[in-house]
Structure 1
Amino acid sequence: MLDIREILTVGMVLFAVIDVVGTVPVIVDLRAKHGHIESEKASIVACLIMITFLFVGEELLNFIGIDVNSFAVAGSFVLFFLALEMILGIRIYRDEESSSASIVPIAFPLIAGAGTMTTLLSLRAQYATLNIIIAILLNIVVVYIVLKSSSKIERLLGKNGLGVVRKTFGVVLLAIAVKLFAANVKGLFL
């Protein structure tokens, strides 16, 4: 059932996890290294990954013998470390260099990464699928706008402004990681 409050809640959670504004410095760096980034392609691929995982993620996990609680707890650790990266300004995860930046690393794993997928599975247990899909689509629109105007956003906010935004979303993400861990860790021992 369509619920505006659920859409806003899920949308804000996904917005914090995706952290497209916080990744503007990464996007600007990738644009400098690889030239033009295809915003449309990156947005569509990220959207398809998220919606596909929303529907088949749990079945895929069951197929390989992993329950949702284990995946959610593991994902809470991923979110925890992503949040630490954002808050402390350190780099824990290092990716290999690629020749094209539109799909890898922008669509996956920057936008539709492990944290996003874990969050989607957790949200699916609590919210209506239709509301989650609408929240995904709204976030993809924001992602597209940010990708298209990343250089303008960088100039507008400046380095200090981007740092504040990144740290703020890092704290929100840390809180989400703690909540995700607390909600699912009990299920591991039942």
Structure 2
Amino acid sequence: MLELYISSLITFFVVIDPPGCAPIYAGLSAGATPAQRRTMAIRAVAVASAILLVFALFGEDLLRGLGISLASFRIAGGIMLFLIALEMVFEKRTQRREDRAAKVADDPEAEDVSIFPMAMPMIAGPGSIASVMLLMARNDGIERSAVVFAALATILLLTLVALLLAGPLMRLLGTRIEAVITRLLGVLLAALAVQFVMDGLQVSLR
């Protein structure tokens, strides 16, 4: 169970990327008061948690209704996570997030950034949705599912802390250290993505 928790924790940490969300949130909420920043951070994590919970509980039924096999979803999800990993290693994901944040910041009507882009797609994006569905599918039973949920809850709590401490955190880390961490996590995510694809291929080739 401890191994499952650590593996799930790493997966969610890499995909949701709390340290990566912090600078984007700091930039988007630069004109807000401290109280508004706290409110938006809490709302963003709450909405993202609800989205991920729905897909964790009912994602497999949704796939079944669409006629998509779980093995196919594992392969597709693994490929998608691998592409995210490549972007992290070559720092393209950070640039895309910053570009998206800049577009929202330039919109004078976009004052509340908690739902978009923070909750979705930055926290509950395609990668995190695919990850939670894949991990739930690979771990049947109440106990193993509870471990996955515990890992997800831990990362969401860490994300909330990162958003609340976004300004001080960025001053502490600096851009160089953040880049090193992002690339290292990208390599780990690539390995996990390949494992997802291999699992899917093993099931489909039986």
Uncovered stretches (5+) of structure 2, i.e. residues with no partner: 105-109
* Residue equivalent to 1:147: 163
1:22 offset after TM fit, Å?
A: 2.5
**So what's the TM-score if we normalise by structure 1?**
0.87
TM-fit CA distance, 1:175: 1.2
Equivalent position SS for 2:92: coil
Match of 2:188 among 167, 172, 177: 172
**Is the 1:10–1:135 Cα contact (8 Å) retained in structure 2?**
yes
**Aligned-residue offset at 1:90:** 2.0
Greater Cα shift, 157-166 or 12-21 = 12-21
After superposition, the C-alpha distances for 1:35-78 in whole angstroms (9 at most, x for unaligned) are 85411001111111111111100001111111222222211222
Which residue identity is paired with 2:48? A
CA contact (8 A) 1:72 1:181 kept: yes
**2-structure distance, mates of 1:164, 1:60:** 38
**Residues 178-187 or 133-142, more deviating:** 178-187
The whole-number CA distance in structure 2 between the counterparts of 1:126 and 1:188 is 14
**Residue from 6, 9, 19 that aligns with 1:8:** 6
- Cα distance between partner residues in 2 of 1:102 and 1:4: 33
The 5 A counterparts of 1:7-156 are: 7-32=5-30, 37=37, 38-91=40-93, 97-98=103-104, 99=110, 100-127=112-139, 128-156=144-172
Query: Which residue type is aligned with residue 19 of structure 1?
Result: D
Q: Which moved more, 1:112-121 or 1:39-48?
A: 112-121
In 2, Cα distance between equivalents of 1:26 and 1:65: 37
Give % identity. 29
In 1, the alpha carbon distance for the partners of 2:66 and 2:89 equals 34
Q: Sort the Cα spacing of 1:110 and 1:34 in 2 relative to 1 into closer, same or farther, 3 A.
A: farther
- Asked whether the equivalents of residues 71 and 200 of structure 2 are also in contact (C-alpha less than 8 Å), the reply is yes
The Cα offsets for residues 134-171 of structure 1, whole Å up to 9 and x where unpaired, read as: 11211111010001011111100111011111111111
Separation in structure 1 between the aligned mates of residue 171 and residue 52 of structure 2, nearest angstrom: 30
Distance 1:64 1:158, change over 3 A: same
Q: Give the Å deviation of 1:28.
A: 2.9
Alignment root-mean-square deviation, CA? 2.3
Amino acid at match of 1:151: G
- Mapped partners of 2:154, 2:162: distance in 1: 13
AA partner of residue 62 (structure 2) = L
Contact 1:43 1:143 in 2 (8 A): yes
**Distance in 1 separating the partners of 2:18 and 2:136:** 22
Q: Are the counterparts in 1 of residues 63 and 69 from structure 2 also a CA contact under 8 Å?
A: yes
Separation of aligned partners in 2, 1:109 and 1:42: 11
What 5-or-longer segments of structure 1 have no aligned partner?
none
Deviates more, 1:95-104 or 1:79-88: 95-104
Q: Which amino acid aligns with 1:126?
A: R
Aligned length: 188
The residue aligned with 2:107 is none
Letter in 1 for 2:167: S
